[in-house]
Amino acid sequence: MENQVVQARDLVKKYDSHRAVDGISFDVMRGEAFGLLGPNGAGKSTTMRMIACRSPVTSGTLHVEGFDVEHDARRIRRLIGVVPQENNLDPDITVRQNLIVYARYFQIPPADAARRTDELLDFTGLNDKINARVEEISGGMKRRLMIARALLHNPRLLVLDEPTTGLDPQVRQEIWSRLEELRRTQNLTILLSTHYMDEAEKLCDRLMIIDKGHIQVEGTPRDLVRDKLAAFVLEIRDTGERALISVPASVRAIERGGAHLYFADHHELLTPLMNTYEGQRMLLRPANLEDVFLQFVSDTGNE
């Protein structure tokens, strides 16, 4: 129990008759960054809201830091920091006031709250915006302020629901480096949801891909690619009406979005195929998490 920060067993969330989360079991271990990957509507936010004690569990069990979300919500809230998918900062007050006001919810003494606020504004690079009103700052700054706010009470678990969705590439990189620093310097456990493969590959020690409330696969990014697919893929674009070539059992052939993909553990198995497609756009590359994702998530991910 000690090392399990989150323990979910047969967790179900129903909205009326719709099973948004449909019997998932997983553990998040202390000190790791655990990713929840899935398309829109997969059940990521619903899972995170249950962990954050903001939405009741329909059935199954859910423990956070050893406490049951059904009975110990207040204790759990003190131990976790939550960055919800939608920013819910107070737009009318300043950046700094947002943190000071929030600190009161946790009964942090004013002097500590002020010190901690300044530390976190420094850490998140918002120093020169402390007196700006929230409605005046950029989307990336709002996101960083949300992260600062979630860290105010020194949580042991940080829950981030799509931390960088909709942000510019440079801003996303900055947020990633802040999160990586937190992991390096504190023994903070991070649970994050994303639909960005680069984010998952960069930040997560372990992840699970969920779709329609079900876990499809779980593992380290590297093991998922290696165990669920193969080391290499030959990708041929614009194949038109052409059928897949018949291949030996050591190669797996699929069609995806007008492209042919051939997966194999050794690239030597793929080079002979290249002759067959001579003259077409092709790419021989290592298989990646996106390949796994597309393999395990049905259709386009729209609800």
**Minimal distance, residue 281 CB to ligand ADP, in Å:** 33
88 binds, among ligand ADP, Mg ion, none (CB under 5 to 8 A by kind): none
Taking CB under 6 A as the binding criterion, the range among 37-45, 135-143, 201-209, 237-245 that sits at the site for ligand ADP is 37-45
Report the residue from 45, 117, 164, 189 that binds ligand ADP according to the rule CB under 6 A: 45
41 binds ligand ADP (CB under 6 A): yes
Q: How far apart are CA 286 and CA 301, in angstroms?
A: 24
Question: CB neighbours of 290 closer than 8 A, spacing ≥ 6?
Answer: 197
Q: What is the DSSP letter of 246?
A: P
d(CA 45, CA 203): 18
Question: Which residue number, 37 or 80, has a Cβ lying nearer to ligand ADP?
Answer: 37
Minimum CB separation from ligand ADP for residue 12, in Å? 12
Phi, psi of 124 (to 5 degrees): -90, 5
Shortest CB 299 distance to Mg ion, Å: 18
Kindly state the number of chain residues that form the binding site for ligand ADP, as judged by CB under 6 A: 11
Site for Mg ion, residues 56 to 115, rule: CB under 5 A: 85
- If one asks whether residue 46 binds ligand ADP (CB under 6 A), the answer comes out as yes
Token pair 């110990």 is found at 72
Q: Which amino acid is at 70?
A: E
Q: How far apart are CA 116 and CA 109, in angstroms?
A: 10
Helix axis angle, 221-228 to 289-296, nearest 10°: 60
In the complex, least distance from residue 55 CB atom to ligand ADP, rounded to whole angstroms: 8
Binding flag, residue 45, Mg ion (CB under 5 A): yes
**Concatenated DSSP letters for 111-172?**
HHHHHHHHHHHHHTT-GGGTTSBGGGS-HHHHHHHHHHHHHTT--SEEEEESTTTT--HHHH
* Contact call for residue 42 and ligand ADP (CB under 6 A): yes
DSSP secondary structure letter of residue 193: E
44 is a contact residue toward ligand ADP (CB under 6 A): yes
Other CB atoms within 10 A of residue 299 CB? 7
Smaller CB separation from Mg ion, 3 or 40: 40
Q: Of residues 11, 20, 33, 152, which one binds ligand ADP by CB under 6 A?
A: 20
Span from 33-41, 176-184, 240-248, 257-265 in contact with ligand ADP (CB under 6 A) = 33-41
Compare residues 46 and 295 and give the one whose CB is closer to Mg ion: 46
Q: What angle do CA 30, 216, 270 make, to 5 degrees?
A: 110
Q: Which is nearer to Mg ion, 45 or 98 (CB)?
A: 45
The only residue of 24, 32, 37, 43 in contact with ligand ADP, by rule CB under 6 A: 43
Backbone φ and ψ of 34, nearest 5°: -115, 130
Q: Which helix (H) or strand (E) element contains residue 6?
A: strand 4-15
Q: Which does 38 bind (CB under 5 to 8 A by kind): Mg ion, ligand ADP, none?
A: ligand ADP
Q: How far is the CB of 190 from ligand ADP (least distance, A)?
A: 17
Is 175:140 a contact under the CB 8 Å cutoff?
Answer: yes
Q: Is 35 in the site for ligand ADP (CB under 6 A)?
A: no
Q: How far is Cα 146 from Cα 44, in angstroms, rounded to an integer? A: 19
Q: Which amino acid is at 283?
A: L
Given the rule CB under 6 A, which residues bind ligand ADP?
Answer: 15, 20, 38, 40-46, 303
By the criterion CB under 5 A, which residues form the site for Mg ion? 44-45, 85
